[in-house]
């Protein structure tokens, strides 16, 4: 049995984040594809949120941990992966801010903007998951697309600010989280700023197959939803 067991859904960028990370960090891991297998009493006993990615690892007090950024931070601390998650408090605070801002602000907008196109169920409480009509749902999607500009600019102007990566010269766990997330914007007709293409290209060039191999699952899914129905 591997040191790290990760339950995943392959078309998901939340899952892609951890899938890239464990490869880039060279950790011992196995992946369990739980497509169609969540929601069981066994899965919920480990993960009452019923969300993936889910890490199972011997050092965890309850044996399991969800939330992609928490999983990466824990594994960095456990394996002294300071290059991905610096020990310096100021630099670490910037990585944390970039990740919390992503989970709290950018990702909900990405989900509202892309999940209808990706045919993913939207989170409870969203207009898209309600009984609202198609017009209101389409408006919510358009509003989310329009609102993406501000957080994207914040990443460029504040977190990157002329550096190649949020982590500086090398990708941090916040960079892995951001690049993976931006993969979904290719599903919709969103005018990606030029820096996004350069940034994602630099991450993929630096991480190589650790990025490209799991990203192929997300890209394949995105291509399938964009392909004209035959
Ligand atoms: N903030 C969480 C989000 C986790 C999440 O929403 N996971 C989705 C996959 S993208 C999930 O498991 N959804 C339940 C389902 O698809 O049944 C993280 O970063 O890990």
- pLDDT per residue as tens digits for the range 169-205: 999 999 999 999 999 999 998 999 999 999 999 999 9
CATH number at residue 31: 3.40.30.10
| Residue 158 structural domain | 89-212
What is the per-residue pLDDT for 209? 98
Place of tokens 């939803």: 225
The number of domains in the chain is 2
Nearest ligand 1 atom, CA 107: 1
Give the residue whose CA is nearest to atom 14 of ligand 1.
Answer: 51
What's this model's pTM, rounded to 2 decimal places? Answer: 0.96
Give the residue whose CA is nearest to atom 10 of ligand 1.
Answer: 12
Task: Let me know if residue 224 belongs to a domain.
Answer: no
Do 100 and 135 belong together in one domain?
yes
Do 107 and 186 belong together in one domain?
yes
Task: Let me know if residue 229 belongs to a domain.
Answer: no
Tell me if 9 CB under 6 Å of ligand 1. yes
The predicted model gives 49-61 an average pLDDT of 98
Q: Report the separation in Å between the CA atom of 219 and the middle of ligand 1, taken as the mean of its atom positions.
A: 17
Distances (CA, A) of 218 to 14, 112, 152, 167, 184: 10, 17, 21, 24, 8
pLDDT tens-place string over residues 133-177:
888 888 999 999 999 999 999 999 999 999 999 999 999 999 999
* Residue 229 pLDDT class (50, 70, 90 cuts): low
Give the residue whose CA is nearest to atom 6 of ligand 1.
Answer: 51
Ligand 1, residues 18, 44, 47, 51: which to mutate, most atoms within 8 A of Cβ?
51
Tell me if 183 CB under 6 Å of ligand 1. no
């Amino acid at each position: 049995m591997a040191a790290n067991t990760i339950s995943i859904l392959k078309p998901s960028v939340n899952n892609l984040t951890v899938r890239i990370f464990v490869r880039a960090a060279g950790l011992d891991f196995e992946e369990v594809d739980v497509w169609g297998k969540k929601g069981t009493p066994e899965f919920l006993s480990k993960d009452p949120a019923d969300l993936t990615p889910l890490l199972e690892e011997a050092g965890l007090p309850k044996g399991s941990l969800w939330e992609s950024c928490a999983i990466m931070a824990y594994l960095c601390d456990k394996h002294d992966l300071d290059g991905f998650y610096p020990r310096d408090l100021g630099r670490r605070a910037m990585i944390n801010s970039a990740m919390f801002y992503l989970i709290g602000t950018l990702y909900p907008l990405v989900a509202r903007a892309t999940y209808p196109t990706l045919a993913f169920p939207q989170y409870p409480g969203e207009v898209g998951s309600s009984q609202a009509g198609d017009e209101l749902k389409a408006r919510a999607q358009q509003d989310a697309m329009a609102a993406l500009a501000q957080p994207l600019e914040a990443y460029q102007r504040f977190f990157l600010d002329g550096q190649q990566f949020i982590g500086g010269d090398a990708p941090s766990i916040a960079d892995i989280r951001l690049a993976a997330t931006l993969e979904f914007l290719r599903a919709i007709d969103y005018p990606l700023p030029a820096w996004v293409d350069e940034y994602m290209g630099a991450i993929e060039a630096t991480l190589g197959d650790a990025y490209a191999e799991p990203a192929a699952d997300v890209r394949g899914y995105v291509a399938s939803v964009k392909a004209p129905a035959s």
